[in-house]
Amino acid sequence: MTKKDLNIEECFYWMQRAFQLAQLADGETNPNPLVGAVVLDPDKLLIGEGFHSKAGSPHAEVEALRQAGDAAKGGTLLVTLEPCCHYGLTPPCTKTIIESGVSRVVVGLQDPDPRVSGNGIRLLKEAGIEVITGILKEEISFQNRAFIFRIKTGRPWGILKLAMSFDGRTGLSNGKSKWITSQEAREKVHALRAKCDAVIIGGGTLRADDPLLTSRGLRNPEPLRVVFSQSLSLPIGAQIWRTESAKTLVAFSNENALPLIQELPENVEKLKLHESNPRELLEELAKKGCNRILWECGPSLATSAIKQNCVQEIVIFMAPKLLGGLPAMTLLGNFGFDSLDQALILKEVSLAKSGKDFVLNTFLE
């Protein structure tokens, strides 16, 4: 059967469907990207679709082609990310695609992974398959911004979560901060954690709040809980040491605190850093396959993380409350700026409602 031409509008239409399929696994695929795929027969009818659900599971193209079966011959495969051409936890997708008999492949985004980047497309072309690229490229790049950032920098994409009153306070001058925001806002925080591979706090936050730091069952497995501490003066009875539902890692650098690390439960992973450095911590988390991490720390660690380019995105939950008080806690520490020209610029600021509270989402330039 002769294949029908696929016009640009049809390419965008079906790539949008593949994009939506990829989004279904958001937060589940680390260290891999989000990928969706659809297969059309020669008459441009949908005969297969799929998405990559988690590392080690079949890739989106394989799922879609498996569903399409022999009907894929002479048809079109649309996939959000360039098909892989190397052996990892699964065989190369290019081999499966070539063997399926499809005559056209539409690719949204070239894979930034140097093991693939352009090679998958080249192999398909060498096999006589027509390849169209760049469809929905910007949207797919944004969808996979965490994966792309890790590949390019060797660090996970960092999200800083903050909660404050309308006058910019994170608590009262006596240290009390529970709860500034509503239950609805806290449920959104749980959902945000579920999209991340690790959640990081400092020792001060652990001592003050004794947080559980889970998604409350929205993700399985739960994100890795990380305590970043210099002193290792940590409460032994904290909830975070219970690792039945979520793993915990303690990162430290102070040689003098080594005896204290032995007091922590055996089921807690210990990571010795060369120095108390957020960037080094993130490099180690990237080696563990983390694409996206969430900072839920106090102002000192948050400021340090921003200074070292370990924060790319900021989510602020704002309660319609006025706490006041000059000594009251604030979101961040001192950046050491001498002039307003040095201020960090935020971009693509958006504001949404969550119950009685507001959620502000923005990115650092």
Q: Does the annotation flag 213 for ligand binding?
A: yes
**Pairing label, strands 313-319, 357-364:** antiparallel
Q: Residue 250 phi/psi, 5° resolution?
A: -110, 120
Q: Does the annotation flag 300 for ligand binding?
A: yes
Closest CA to 216 of 241, 237, 245, 183: 245
Q: Does the annotation flag 45 for ligand binding?
A: no
Q: Does the annotation flag 234 for ligand binding?
A: no
Q: Does the annotation flag 77 for ligand binding?
A: no
How far, in Å, CA of 205 to CA of 227, rounded? Answer: 9
How far, in Å, CA of 131 to CA of 104, rounded? Answer: 6
- Contact in structure between 120 and 93 (CB atoms under 8 Å): yes
How far, in Å, CA of 43 to CA of 200, rounded? Answer: 51
Is 255 among the residues known to form the active site? Answer: no
Q: Does the annotation flag 302 for ligand binding?
A: yes
Q: What would the two tokens of residue 41 be?
A: 């027969």
Q: Does the annotation flag 6 for ligand binding?
A: no
Alpha helices in 73-232 (DSSP H): 93-100, 119-126, 137-143, 145-153, 183-194, 203-209
Q: Does the annotation flag 209 for ligand binding?
A: yes
Residue type, 141: S
Q: Does the annotation flag 205 for ligand binding?
A: yes
Q: What is the DSSP string of 328-340?
A: S-BS------SSG
Q: Does the annotation flag 223 for ligand binding?
A: no
Q: Does the annotation flag 231 for ligand binding?
A: no
Q: Does the annotation flag 43 for ligand binding?
A: no
Q: Does the annotation flag 179 for ligand binding?
A: yes
For residue 164, the number of C-alpha atoms closer than 13 Å in the C-beta half-sphere is 18
Q: What is the DSSP string of 273-311?
A: -SSS-HHHHHHHHHHTT-SEEEE---HHHHHHHHHTT--
Q: Does the annotation flag 301 for ligand binding?
A: yes
For residue 357, the number of C-alpha atoms closer than 13 Å in the C-beta half-sphere is 23
Q: Is the peptide bond before 299 cis (omega within 30 degrees of 0)?
A: no
Q: Does the annotation flag 93 for ligand binding?
A: yes
Closest CA to 282 of 146, 167, 171: 146
Q: What would the two tokens of residue 230 be?
A: 């210099």
Q: Does the annotation flag 271 for ligand binding?
A: no
Q: Does the annotation flag 120 for ligand binding?
A: no
Among residues 28, 61, 82, 280, the one annotated as catalytic is 61
Which residues form the catalytic set? 61
Positions at the binding site for Zn(2+): 59, 84, 93
Q: Residues annotated in the binding site, as ranges?
A: 59, 84, 93, 163, 177, 179, 193, 205, 209, 213, 216, 296, 298-304
Pick out the residues of the known binding site for NADP(+).
Answer: 163, 179, 205, 209, 298-304
Binding residues for substrate: 177, 193, 213, 216, 296
